[in-house]
Structure 1
Amino acid sequence: MIPPDRARRKSRPSLYISVDIEADGPIPGPYSMISFGAAVAGRHDPDGTYVPYDPEARTFYRELRPISEKFVPEALAVSGLDRDRLLREGTEPATALADFTAWVREVATGTQPVMAGYPASYDWTFLYWYLLRFTGESPFGHSGCLDLKSLYAAKTNLPLRAVAKRTMPRELLSARRHTHHALDDAIEQAELCNNLLTWEA
């Protein structure tokens, strides 16, 4: 095992980028990611210092053209997006993901970008699949993903299944409303990320 001090000396800062996706089904491929938003949350330095940023300062948002004919009406309804409009006007996935990759690389200059989500598993599954499928690579690598739900469970020594936002201390949660608009929710989630990483449990 590499000692923590040596790992700190060898590493670059991590830049946490909160990402939220909306989809019309449970898995990518048969179903489509129909929108995604991202907001820069903050920088985690190798010495352990965390610097929160204004999550509204650097953001990214796209609505995408669906990639298949299949969709789950209940899943589609969550976002409130009009699928017929997206088929006509949505950004081509290859264009959107190339633009996103360029944006991540620009905002993460001098750092290693890390996608942050709550919970990250669903959003990361779609985002990583789309990145690999439409650009051939991921600016986050294959494992640059921080699950905020797991982070809270580790800080509080709670079983993961016992964690829910309604059980968290109020000071950790964003005052913003959860709208199911991908950019709104990415900004809200960035505030949760910042609060968790500066919180002494």
Structure 2
Amino acid sequence: MDRLIKDVYFSADVETDGSVPGPYSMLSFSMVLAGTFDGQRFTRPHSYDEYFYAELAPISTNFQPEALAVNGLDRSRLILTGTSPPDAMNAAYDWVMRTSLGGTPILVAYPVAFDWTWLYWYFSVFSAKGSPFGYSNCYDIKTAFAAKGGSQVSLSGRSKMPPRLQSKKPHTHNAVDDAIEQAEIFANVFEWRPDRA
């Protein structure tokens, strides 16, 4: 097996104004380098200061007030000052590929379903090169935690995690903060061996 080819993990967080892309808009997102794995050795980054962040102009007039209440983003400001989705997604694609250094980019989230849906749709629609994660290169931390811990996925929310697997960073609903928090949880779960206490 070629050990030079690594999975390169990117923890992602999105903040939106609704439940699904298209009718609603992704207002901000961040991706942070979360580690690499060559099939034998997982390596955490020395710090989490290598990240991409963008605030985007909305793509529709629809929004759900409860979504905005969670993330606190000012939709009216983003209509005027947000980055256009094509500019944001093309820049994000280039950043992921440059940061991967020839490895295979893998998107990581907890759970991955929500963030993947938004990012894959936005990359597919707005990036000239499509998605840097292909159509399926993603890693669900929630499923990994359930499988390693011998638990049901439905009972494996973050509140069920033992303290040693959690991040010390708060969950702020700022995309950069939350992507970094999640990157730490990902590394903790990836390295976790429950049978070794």
Shift >4 Å, 4+ stretches: 8-11
Is 1:49 paired with 2:24?
Answer: no
Contact 2:3 2:38 (8 Å CA) reproduced: no
Match of 1:131 in 2: 123
**TM-score under structure 1 normalisation?**
0.93
Q: Give the 3 Å change call, closer, same or farther, for CA 72–166 of structure 1 in structure 2.
A: same
Distance of 2:34 and 2:170 partners within structure 1 = 17
Tell me which moved more, 132-141 or 93-102: 132-141
Of 67, 72, 80, 1:88 maps to 80
Contact 1:55 1:191 (8 Å CA) reproduced: no
Q: Could you report, residue by residue, the CA deviation over 1:31-81 in whole angstroms, capped at 9, with x for unpaired residues?
A: 0000001110100112x2100113522111000000000000001111101
Structure 2: 5+ residue stretches without partners: none
| Equivalent residue runs for 1:93-172 within 5 Å | 93-136=85-128, 137-172=130-165
Match of 1:3 in 2: none
Distance of 2:106 and 2:30 partners within structure 1 = 15
| Equivalent residue runs for 1:2-81 within 5 Å | 8-9=1-2, 12-46=5-39, 48-81=40-73
Letter aligned with residue 178 of structure 1: H
The two structures, once aligned, show a CA RMSD in angstroms of: 1.3
Match of 2:183 in 1: 190
Letter aligned with residue 51 of structure 2: T
Q: Give the 3 Å change call, closer, same or farther, for CA 10–55 of structure 1 in structure 2.
A: closer
- Secondary structure of the 2:185 match is helix
**TM-score under structure 2 normalisation?**
0.95
Structure 1: 5+ residue stretches without partners: 1-7
Letter aligned with residue 50 of structure 2: R
Distance of 1:145 and 1:13 partners within structure 2 = 14
